[in-house]
Chain A
Amino acid sequence: MPAVELNNICKSYNDNLVVNNVSFTVAQGEIFGLIGPNGAGKTTTIRMVMDITKPDSGEINVLGESLSEDTKNRIGYLPEERGLYKKLTVLESLTYLASLKGIKPRLVNSRAEGLLERVGMLPHKEKKIEELSRGMGQIIQFLVTIIHGPQLVVLDEPFAGLDPVNTELLKEIILELRNQGKAIILSTHMMNEVEALCDRILMIDKGRTILYGELAEIKLRYRNNSIFLEFDGMLGEIEGVVGKRDYGTYVELFLDEETPPRKILEQLVNRGVSVNRFEVSTPSLNEIFLQVVKEE
C-alpha cells in the first residue's frame, strides 16, 4: 500500500490553474522529492495532501484512506510558512502540538526530552521560543513534526534558512526516519538537496508534471555521455570519443552513443596513461530541469 497516492489532481485560484492533472505515489520507506521552481505548485499540492486545501478534481489517498482526523495523527507536517507560539517554552510548544496529534500527555514529556537530547537542545527546554535563535526555532519546528512518530512525514522547504550544521543534522534525522520505514515527502526548490537524499522525484513546473520517477533512472536518461578526466601523459586518438573540451587541469571527453565509459578507461590503461581522476559526468537536477523546460 503506498503511503500517498494522488490521481489527476487539479486546483485553480481565480481561474488560474496552479495544479494541473498531477498524479504520483509515495511508497513507505522512501524519500520522495517534490521539486520545482518557486510558484510551481508544490505547496498547493502538499496542502491538498494534508487536506488543508481541497482539490477541484482528482482523488487523494493517504496511508490507504481519504484523509480523516485519525490519518492526520499519523502524518507529520512541516509547512513552508512556519512558526511557533513565541511566549510558550520549548517543552510547552512540543507538548501542546503533540497533544493535538493525539499523543497522551504522559508520553509527550519523555518523547520531547529524548528528541531534544538527540538534537542537543535539552538544556533549552524551559526557554521561551522567542529566546531561541532562528535556527534553533526551526529545529524545534522539525521536532514538532516528528514527535508523534508519524508514518508519513511531509517537509516543505525544510532546509530554508538553516546553517550548514543544522542542515546536516536535519539530513541525518531524515535518513534515520527513512531507515525506520517512514515515507517522506521532501518539497524544495533547492535541487542539490534532493539529489543527496531522494529515491524518487516528481518535478513540476507551472502546475504540470515534467519529470517523475527514480532519481537514478532520470539522471541516466538525461546523462551527457561524457567523462571528466585528469591524467599524466599523452591521450592521442581514443576510439568512441567524438569530442573533447579542455578545462586546463582536466578535460571532458564526449562519447558516441555506443561507447560505455568503461571502454575508454580500458583504452587509457592499455596505453599506460596515468589516470588521476575518472568521473562519469551526470547532469545535475538543475541542469535536467533547465533542459526539460527548454525542450518543452
Chain B
Amino acid sequence: MNKTVLIVKHEFLRTVKRKGFVIMTLAFPMIALLAIGIYQIVQGIDTSPAPDEEVTIGYVDKIDLFEGYTEQPGGITFIAYRTEEEATSALLTEDISEYFIIPLDYVSTGVVIRYTSEKELEPPDETQWAMKSFLLSNLLEGQASPEIAERVKSPMWLSSIRLDETGEVATDQGGFGAFIVPLLFGFLLIMAIFSSSGYLLQGLGEEKENRIMEILLSSVSARQLLTGKVLGLGAAGLVQVVIWLLSAVFLVQWVSTTIGGVLSTLQIPDNLLILGIVYFILGYLFFAVLMAGIGAIGATARESQQMSMLFLMPAWIPFWVLFFITRNPNHVINTVLTMIPVTAPTMVFIRLGTSGIPTWELVLSISLLVAAIIGALVLAAKAFRVFLLMYGKTPRLGEIIRRLREA
C-alpha cells in the first residue's frame, strides 16, 4: 500500500477513536435535540393569565378623559381611583394587581407612570397591550369609527414576499429562518475546521515530544508525512462535518414541519450543502497546512497551539462583526472578508443567510483560497524540512523567517 495512504489511514483511525472527537461529533445533534426539547417545553408553558383569571388594574386619571372601555379582552378590567393614595392602598390590599397614573401633561408627553408590587424585567405584553387599547379607545372616542379605532391599534401586519429572477415566488424567502441556518452551519464549519486542524497540531506536537518524528522520516519523506496527516485528519473532520450537516438538515426539516412557531420558518438555502462541503474542504486544507507548518516549528504541542492563535482568531472576525454585516449586507467590507482566505469560510455562510453572494465573488473567493493553500503548502513543506527535527526550543520569529527564506 502506498505510504501516504497508510499515514492517511493511521491518522484517520487515530483521530476518530479519540474520545474528544466522538463526544464533539455527537454533541451537536444531541445539544440541538435538547434545545428543541426545551423549546417545546417552554412553548407548552403558558405564562399568560388563565382564561377565567380576572386581572384588575387601577388607574388615576388626572385629566378626566378616560372613562370608558374599562373591560378589555383577556379578562383585564380597569378601575378608576381618584387619588394616588387610594390606588396605593388598593394595591397593598391586593384589590388590584397594579395601577397607573395618567398625568396632566399626558396628551403632550404621552408619559404614563405605572406602579406594581411585582419584581419584573419589563411589563407583561398583555398588560401593555390592554393599557394601550384602553388609552387609544378613549382618545379616539367620537373621533373615528370603531373599525378605524381597531385598525389604529394594529395598523400593519407586514407580509413580505421575495420574487426570483423570473418573477415567481422564490423558494428561499430570506428573513430570520433563512439567516439562522447558514449562520449555524458557518459556526459548525469553523468548529470542525478548528477541531481537525487542532488535532493535527496536537498530533504533530506529541510526535515531536515523543521523539517519533525521526523514525517516521526514516521511512517516509516529509512531503508524504505532511500529505498523509493533512488528508487523514481532513477525512476525519469531513466525517464530523457531514454528520453535523446531515443531522442539521434532518432536524431543520423535522422541526419546521412538526413543531411550528419560529422554527417553522427555518430554511436551508439550496446551495448550502454544496458550498458547505467545498468551503469545508478548502478551509480545512488551508488551516490544516498552516497548522502543520506551525506544528513543525513549535517545540511542544502547547507552544504550537499558542502560535496557532495568530491564525485561528482572525477566522472569527465575521462573527465579531455579525451585527454590522446584517445591517449592511451589501457593504464592501463583506466582499473583502469573503476574499480573505482566513475569513472566507465563515463569511460565505453568514452572507448566504443575509444578502446572497454573486457568483463572481464565490469564484474569486474559492480561487484565492486555493492559491493560499498552495502558498501555505510551500511554506509548511519548508517548515517540515527545517524545523521538524529541532527539539527543545521554539525558534524566534526572526529565525523562523530567516530559515524559511534560506530553505
Contacts and interface: CB of A to CB of B under 8 A. Distances in A.
B95 to A, nearest CB: 72
Contact of B215 (A73, A77, A99): A77
Interface in A158-201: none
Contacts of B215: 77, 79, 82-84, 97, 141, 144
B218 A85 contact: no
Nearest to A148: B219
Contact of B6 (A52, A73, A87, A99): A99
A52 B387 CA distance: 12
B2 to A, nearest CB: 10
A81 interface: yes
Given A81-B211, A82-B214, A101 B389 contact: no
A91 B320 CA distance: 49
A97 B389 contact: no
Contacts of B7: 100
B221 A69 contact: yes
A72 interface: yes
A52 B10 contact: no
B168 to A, nearest CB: 57
Interface string B1-26: 10100110010001000000000000
Contacts of B217: 50, 52
Interface in B382-398: 389, 391
Contacts of A82: 211-212, 214-215
Contacts of A102: 3
Interface residues of B, number: 21
B216 A100 contact: yes
A244 interface: no
Nearest to A102: B3
Contact of A79 (B1, B14, B218): B218
Nearest to A86: B210
A84 B221 contact: no
Contacts of A3: none
Interface in A54-73: 69, 72-73
A69 B389 CA distance: 20
Contacts of B210: 83-86
A31 interface: no
A52 B390 CA distance: 12
Given A52-B217, A69-B3, A83 B10 contact: no
A75 interface: yes
Contact of A81 (B1, B6, B214, B221): B214
Nearest to B221: A69
Contacts of B6: 96, 99-100
A52 B213 CA distance: 11
A83 B1 contact: no
Contact of B212 (A52, A69, A84, A99): A84
A47 interface: yes
Interface string A126-156: 0000000000000001001000000000000
B32 to A, nearest CB: 31
Contact of B219 (A85, A97, A141): A97
Contacts of B214: 47, 52, 77, 79, 81-82
Given A79-B214, A101-B219, A96 B389 contact: no
A182 B240 CA distance: 47
B79 interface: no
> By DSSP majority rule, is chain A's interface helix, strand, loop, or mixed?
loop
A142 to B, nearest CB: 11
A99 B218 contact: no
Nearest to B7: A100
Nearest to B224: A69
Given A99-B1, A100-B6, A52 B218 contact: yes
A85 B14 CA distance: 10
Contacts of A141: 215
B24 to A, nearest CB: 18
A72 B225 CA distance: 14
A52 B389 contact: yes
B33 interface: no
A100 B3 contact: yes
Contacts of A101: 219
A73 B6 CA distance: 14
B134 to A, nearest CB: 71
B212 A85 contact: yes
Nearest to A99: B6
Nearest to B216: A100
Interface in A78-122: 79, 81-87, 96-97, 99-102
A107 B14 CA distance: 22
A75 B211 CA distance: 19
B335 to A, nearest CB: 44
A215 B220 CA distance: 34
Given A47-B389, A52-B389, A100 B220 contact: yes
A100 B212 contact: no
A72 B1 CA distance: 15
B275 to A, nearest CB: 36
Given A52-B214, A83-B211, A72 B391 contact: no
Nearest to A98: B219
Contacts of B219: 72-73, 97, 100-101
A16 to B, nearest CB: 14
Given A81-B391, A99-B1, A72 B218 contact: yes
A145 to B, nearest CB: 8
B210 to A, nearest CB: 4
A292 B189 CA distance: 65
**Which of B10, B211, B212 has its CB near the most chain A CB atoms (within 10 A)?**
B212
23 contacts: A47-B214, A50-B218, A53-B389, A69-B3, A69-B220, A69-B221, A72-B218, A72-B220, A75-B218, A77-B215, A77-B218, A79-B211, A79-B215, A81-B391, A83-B210, A86-B210, A96-B10, A97-B219, A99-B1, A99-B6, A100-B216, A100-B219, A100-B220
Among all A-B residue pairs, the 5 with the closest Cβ atoms: A83-B211, A83-B210, A77-B218, A79-B214, A100-B219
Interface of A: 47, 50, 52-53, 69, 72-73, 75, 77, 79, 81-87, 96-97, 99-102, 141, 144
